[in-house]
Amino acid sequence: MKPRPGLTRIDCTLILALAALFAFLAFRIGYGLDYPWEWEAIPQFFFKRDAAGNWSPNLLTRGFLTTIRLSVWGTLLGALVGFAMGLAHVSRVRFLRLAARLYVALIRNLPPLVLIFIFYFFIGDQLAPVLRLGEIAASGPAPVRKLLEFLFAPSHLLTPFLSAVTALALLEGAYITEIVRAAIQSIEGGQWEAASSLGLSRPQQMWYVVLPQALPRMLPSLGGQFISAIKDSAIVSVVSIQELTFQGLEIMAATHLSLELWITIALLYFLLTFGCSLLVRRMELHLGKGWA
């Protein structure tokens, strides 16, 4: 393994310059900013005691968990849509290629906020009365209700949650489609020809030869897209989905805490996204060793 180069004079100079900049900002915030800091008020919004004296999640913790649920379900469904559309994009069937291109062009050229509103009002006003998802979830057995609340949302919030997940899945799916298409098309043509010479059909060539080589190339971009989904989930706060940003707005309106609250929320988002970055990096290294 090639040894890593040590720090150069330029590196040391840049590090000192950044340290000086952060020290100056800390000094200005601490002494020059006329703001009454109240950090001691923040911990109460993570956990609280219920009527029985037991600890239970408070607003920030519940919003943090909802953000995780939105991100996970939005990315999983978006990955299914993206892989299906990515395969359609490289298909020999012209109709499938045109459908995939139309989907990508439509979603990527619409503002995400508009898409959120469309699905929120369409699912909430049109599909919800027909499907009666909230009523079915509320009338189920207690274990089923708890499972649905753990995986998705409480029964009275299930319809808005599903509308937000659907919109996020379509948004992420459009970008995952391009990731899958680019990874498949990056595989050398000789791989297709070699697989064809072995008598493999087109689906077998894709499944056994091309996709195993394309998957490691997709992984860094897919990890970045999952991190993007975590940050994009804040958009759904405009339709009263009680995720982290929405809960922050509610707390700020009630307590007038601003800097402390949003710095805390920013740190929560950073911990979530940075943890995902480390996980994706480990998966990338593991796959790299497996294919070496």
Give the pLDDT of residue 144. Answer: 78
Give the pLDDT of residue 257. Answer: 87
pLDDT in tens, 175-195: 999 999 999 998 888 888 888
279 domain-assigned: yes
pLDDT in tens, 237-262: 888 888 999 999 999 999 888 888 99
Rounded Cα–Cα distance for residues 272 and 254 (Å)? 26
36 domain-assigned: no
Residue 220 has pLDDT above 80, yes or no: yes
159 domain-assigned: yes
Q: pLDDT class for 101, splitting at 50, 70, 90?
A: very high
264 domain-assigned: yes
40 domain-assigned: no
Burial class of residue 229 (count of CB atoms within 10 Å of its CB; 0-12, 13-18, 19+): buried
Residue span of the structural domain in which 200 resides: 61-291
pTM score of the predicted model: 0.83
Q: pLDDT class for 292, splitting at 50, 70, 90?
A: very low
50 domain-assigned: no
- Which strand (E) or helix (H) includes residue 55? strand 55-57
* Mean pLDDT, residues 77-98: 93
Q: Could you identify the residue written with the tokens 């994706």?
A: 280
The answer to whether the CB of 70 falls within 8 A of the CB of 243 is: yes
Mean residue pLDDT across the chain: 85
Residue 289 has pLDDT above 60, yes or no: no
207 domain-assigned: yes
- The residues with which 47 forms a beta bridge, in sequence order, are 57
pLDDT in tens, 44-76: 999 988 777 788 889 999 999 999 999 999 999
In total, how many domains does the chain have? 1
Residue 27 has pLDDT above 50, yes or no: yes
pLDDT in tens, 110-151: 888 888 888 888 776 677 666 666 677 777 777 878 888 888
Residue 2 has pLDDT above 60, yes or no: no
Q: Which amino acid is at 101?
A: R
Q: Could you identify the residue written with the tokens 């009338």?
A: 139
Residue 36 has pLDDT above 90, yes or no: no
54 domain-assigned: no
Dihedrals phi, psi of 154, to nearest 5 degrees: -55, 160
Rounded Cα–Cα distance for residues 230 and 219 (Å)? 17
Rounded Cα–Cα distance for residues 205 and 186 (Å)? 15
Q: What is the CATH number of the domain that holds 272?
A: 1.10.3720.10
> Which range is most confident: 8-12, 124-128, 273-277?
273-277
HSE-up of residue 72 (Cα within 13 Å, Cβ side): 10
200: left (phi over 0), alpha (psi -120 to 50) or beta: beta
